[in-house]
Amino acid sequence: MFRETPGGRRALARVKALCERKEGRELDLSHCSMGYDGCRALATPGCMVQTQWVTKFSVASNGISSDGVPYICTALRQMYRLSEVDLSCNSIQDSGVDTLVQALPALRGVTKLNLSSNDISPIGAVALADTLAKCQTVTE
């Protein structure tokens, strides 16, 4: 279960506010110091219920490590219209890429994936490139 922390509370509050407005199609959670606890909060049952309308999702610059990626993937699977994912400027390493690689085939609408400025090695980049070649929808 999700433990109340500042990062988690900020993430949940932002999701709630953005979902209530439903003005845009972008769920931008960048720069809110989410970290691991914020990622866990996103995977909490019921948190992402109102996000089916989201086409762009960003958690850039949040100090997210590979440990948070499984929770991000859980949240992404609930966004049926998703086309763009921004995970840039975090601390995601190869183990996080491995988790993302397993989730990508289920994210059929995603055409753009930003993982720039993370801690991905050449081996992780090759694994990602191999998966992206098979997921022909991702073009950027």
Q: What is the pLDDT of residues 27-83, one digit of tens each?
A: 888 888 888 888 888 887 777 767 778 899 999 999 999 999 999 999 999 888 899
What are the residue boundaries of the structural domains of the chain, listed by start?
A: 6-20+32-134
Residue 21: is its pLDDT beyond 90? Answer: no
CB atoms within 10 A of CB 68: 28
User: Do residues 99 and 120 lie in contact, with contact meaning Cβ atoms separated by under 8 Å?
Assistant: no
Per-residue tokens: 29: 């959670």
3-state secondary structure of 120: coil
Q: Binning pLDDT at 50, 70 and 90, where does residue 19 land?
A: low
- Domain 6-20+32-134, second-level architecture: Alpha-Beta Horseshoe (3.80)
Apex 1 CA angle, 28 and 70, nearest 5: 50
pLDDT of residue 78: 86
Digit-coded pLDDT (tens) for 72-124 = 999 999 888 899 999 999 999 999 999 999 999 889 899 999 999 999 999 99
